[in-house]
Amino acid sequence: MNINPILEEIFKDFIVDGATIPISFMQYGGDKTAYLTYYTWYEKPELFSDDDYHAEVIHGTIDIFSKENFKNILESVKKKLKENDLTWTDNGSETFEEDTGFFHVPVNFCASNLN
């Protein structure tokens, strides 16, 4: 299951506190002071019967980068995931990257589809 187009559509016009926050696959090359990147890190078949699988589960991460307080972005990402039947599973450590000046928090999720 390729979840990339789904995430791109879900977060296409993502606005938090009046600011549009772009999303891109793995790297962001723009100049916004808040943005999202995403990637998948685990995919597996599930629900086996009749010598075949009948669902796929995918795990991924949306990384939030922001020069300012990211808490509203975080809550909005979790809400957007839920609204689109994706399951928020946990967050990684909240860090500050001194070399870039960005706060960074990974938001982990999973998704499944039935074949």
| CATH value at residue 18 | 3.30.2000.30
Does this model's pTM top 0.75? yes
Q: What is the SS3 assignment for 98?
A: coil
How much is the pLDDT for 43? 79
Question: Which residues, 6+ apart, have CB-to-CB distance to 97 below 8 Å?
Answer: 103, 104
Q: What is the SS3 assignment for 16?
A: strand
Predicted confidence pLDDT, tens digits, the chain (115 residues): 788 999 999 999 999 999 999 999 999 999 999 999 999 987 776 667 877 777 788 999 999 999 999 999 999 999 999 999 999 999 999 999 999 999 999 999 999 874 4
How much is the pLDDT for 114? 47
Q: Which structural domain range is residue 54 located in? A: 4-114
- The residue assigned the tokens 């860090």 is 95
How much is the pLDDT for 45? 65
How much is the pLDDT for 46? 66
- The residue assigned the tokens 């723009």 is 30
How much is the pLDDT for 42? 79
- When divided into structural domains, the chain yields a total of 1
